[in-house]
Amino acid sequence: MSQQRNKIDQSDPFYEKHQKIYSREVHGIFALWRVTGVIILLSVYYGTPWLRWQGHQAILLDLPERKFHIFALTFWPQDFFYFAILLIVAALALFFFTTLAGRLWCGYACPQTVWTEVFLVMERWIEGNRMKQMKLDQSAFNIEKFLKKFSKHFVWIIFSAYTGFTFVGYFTPITGLAEKIIEFSLGPWETFWIVFYSFATYGNAGWLREQVCLHMCPYARFQSAMFDKDTLVIAYDENRGEPRGSRNKNSDLQEKGLGDCINCTLCVQACPTGIDIRDGLQYQCIACAACIDVCNEVMGKMNYKPGLISYTTENASHGKMSHFFRAKTIIYGAILLILLSGLGISLFTRVPLEMDIIRDRNTLYRELPDGLIENVYILKILNMDSVAHEYKLTVSGIKNLKMEMKMKLDHMLVPSGEIIEMPIVLRVSSLGLAKRSNAVEFKLVAKDKPALTVTKEARFLGPIPNH
Ramachandran sector of residue 134 (left: φ over 0; alpha: ψ -120 to 50; beta: rest):
alpha
Q: Per residue in 141-160, pLDDT tens?
A: 999 999 999 999 999 999 99
pTM: 0.84
Q: In the chain, how many domains are there?
A: 2
Same domain, 274 and 374: no
Show which of 321, 350, 379 is a domain's final residue. 350
Expressed as residue numbers, the domain containing 436 is: 353-461
* Residue 466 within a domain: no
* Residue 10 within a domain: no
Q: In the structure, what pLDDT confidence band is assigned to residue 49 with cuts at 50, 70 and 90?
A: very high
Beta carbons within 8 Å of 439's beta carbon, 6+ residues apart: 397, 457, 458, 459, 460
Query: Per mean pLDDT, which of 83-87, 293-297, 398-402 is the most reliable?
Result: 293-297
**Helix, strand, or coil here: 125?**
helix
The DSSP output letter for 206 is I
Is the per-residue pLDDT at 421 higher than 80?
Answer: yes
Q: In the structure, what pLDDT confidence band is assigned to residue 15 with cuts at 50, 70 and 90?
A: low
Q: In the structure, what pLDDT confidence band is assigned to residue 205 with cuts at 50, 70 and 90?
A: very high
Is the per-residue pLDDT at 10 higher than 70?
Answer: no
Distance, CA of 283 to CA of 298 (rounded, Å):
26
Angle at 362 between CA 358 and CA 366, to 5 degrees: 95
Instruction: Give the pLDDT score at 446.
Output: 92
* Residue 397 within a domain: yes
Distance, CA of 424 to CA of 407 (rounded, Å):
10
Same domain, 359 and 303: no
* Mean pLDDT of the 423-437 span: 89
Same domain, 105 and 156: yes
Give the ranges where 223-357 is alpha helix by DSSP (H).
Answer: 238-241, 253-256, 266-270, 290-301, 314-317, 327-348
* Residue 1 within a domain: no
Show which of 323, 350, 377 is a domain's final residue. 350
Same domain, 372 and 318: no
Same domain, 260 and 329: yes
457 exposed, middle or buried (CB, 10 Å; 0-12, 13-18, 19+)?
exposed
* Mean pLDDT of the 371-392 span: 90
Instruction: Give the pLDDT score at 67.
Output: 85
Instruction: Give the pLDDT score at 251.
Output: 84
Distance, CA of 225 to CA of 203 (rounded, Å):
30
Distance, CA of 384 to CA of 357 (rounded, Å):
17
Instruction: Give the pLDDT score at 279.
Output: 94
Contact 293, 310 (CB under 8 A): no
Same domain, 298 and 331: yes
Is the per-residue pLDDT at 425 higher than 90?
Answer: yes
**Helix, strand, or coil here: 426?**
strand
What CATH number should be reported for the domain holding residue 394? 2.60.40.10
Same domain, 251 and 359: no
Same domain, 264 and 330: yes
Lowest mean pLDDT among 16-20, 84-88, 260-264, 299-303: 16-20
* Residue 277 within a domain: yes
Show which of 350, 368, 389 is a domain's final residue. 350
Contact 389, 448 (CB under 8 A): yes
Same domain, 72 and 22: yes
Distance, CA of 384 to CA of 369 (rounded, Å):
42
Same domain, 440 and 381: yes
* Residue 264 within a domain: yes
* Residue 8 within a domain: no
Q: In the structure, what pLDDT confidence band is assigned to residue 16 with cuts at 50, 70 and 90?
A: low
Distance, CA of 276 to CA of 195 (rounded, Å):
37
Is the per-residue pLDDT at 467 higher than 80?
Answer: no
* Residue 6 within a domain: no
Same domain, 120 and 192: yes
Share of the chain above pLDDT 90, in %: 65
The DSSP output letter for 14 is G
* Mean pLDDT of the 224-243 span: 91
Greatest CA separation for the chain: 115
Same domain, 158 and 180: yes
Instruction: Give the pLDDT score at 451.
Output: 87
Would strands 412-414 and 389-396 be described as parallel, antiparallel, or unpaired?
Answer: antiparallel
Instruction: Give the pLDDT score at 407.
Output: 67
Distance, CA of 247 to CA of 263 (rounded, Å):
9
Q: In the structure, what pLDDT confidence band is assigned to residue 408 with cuts at 50, 70 and 90?
A: low
